[in-house]
Amino acid sequence: MALGCVLWLTNKTNISIGRKDPLQYLKDRYEWTSEAIVRERLQSHLIPIEELANGGYDGLSKAKKIEKLKQDFDAFIRKRADFTMKAVKLLAGGHQLSAAEFYGK
């Protein structure tokens, strides 16, 4: 899959996601379309899917939940920043982007 242009979430979409558990967000998306389509769309936005798919917050104490959320979010942001910097460098060098370069396909 070529990434002709990198798309970012709109403010409206971001607000609609709200404070959902990332794993629940993915499950909700899979209900209205296939997992393959959801993965392709997330990849076109340079979303690190494995880091997004973290979950397991139910049943944690408030302190443990906050700690896990922070760790998971930090990992997600670091990976997204890595993807973004790689995309910038490739585009600045005149290269076409492809999912394989980011997702190892």
Tokens 């760790």 belong to which residue?
71
Say how far apart CA 13 and CA 16 lie, in whole Å.
Answer: 5
When comparing pLDDT for 47 and 26, which is higher? 47
Q: pTM of the prediction? A: 0.72
Round the average pLDDT of the chain to a whole number and report it.
81
At 34, is the secondary structure helix, strand, or coil? Answer: coil
| DSSP character at residue 53 | T
Q: Does an H or E element contain 64, and which? A: helix 62-92
Residue 20: partners with Cβ closer than 8 Å, 6 or more residues away: 28
Give me the residue label for tokens 């769309």.
41
> For residue 7, is pLDDT > 60?
no
